[in-house]
């Protein structure tokens, strides 16, 4: 798994074993960052070349992701200025949303298991946290 945070504040976590093509993972993560408010209208994304170098992947993969998002109106490219988040919000697909929730939960649970915390203990910790006014 390849993970990196780019200057715009979005963190890409690419997983070759995921089954989804890398360009699709990039699209999903940009959409998720927009929907979660980490990327806003007018925010500038890194250049194709810069992101490809940062993620250590082929620039054509980034170009394919950016192009698809531009076709859908999510991104806007201004020659000489860069690629920006447009005013149009992505429409979350229930399947994609559910899949993302499962991915986040799986990583969350795995992190706690790596720390030696069982699922039962984790549930108790979450209940205690919630009872104390967290989240």
Which domains occur in the chain, in start order?
Answer: 2-85 (1.10.10.10), 94-131 (no CATH)
Most confident of 56-65, 99-108, 122-131: 56-65
Model confidence pLDDT, tens digit, residues 72-111: 999 999 988 899 999 998 876 656 667 778 888 888 888 8
CA angle at residue 3 from 62 to 71, to 5 degrees? 25
Residues 2-29: tens digit of each pLDDT: 555 555 567 888 888 878 899 999 998 9
Which residues lie below 8 Å from residue 7, measured CB to CB, with a gap of 6+?
Answer: 46
What's the number of CA atoms in the CB half-sphere (13 Å) around residue 57? 23
Model confidence at 60, pLDDT cuts 50, 70, 90, reads: very high
């Amino acid at each position: 798994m390849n993970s990196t945070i780019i200057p715009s504040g979005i963190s890409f976590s690419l997983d070759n074993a995921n089954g989804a093509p890398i360009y699709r993972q990039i699209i999903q993560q940009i959409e998720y960052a927009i929907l979660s408010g980490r990327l806003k209208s007018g925010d500038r994304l890194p250049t194709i070349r810069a992101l490809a170098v940062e993620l250590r992947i082929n620039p054509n993969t980034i170009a394919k992701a950016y192009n698809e998002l531009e076709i859908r109106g999510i991104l806007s490219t201004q020659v000489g200025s860069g690629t920006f988040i447009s005013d149009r919000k992505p429409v979350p697909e229930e399947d994609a949303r559910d899949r993302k929730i499962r991915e986040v939960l799986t990583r969350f649970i795995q992190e706690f298991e790596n720390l030696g915390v069982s699922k039962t203990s984790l549930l108790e910790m979450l209940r205690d946290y919630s009872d104390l006014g967290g989240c």
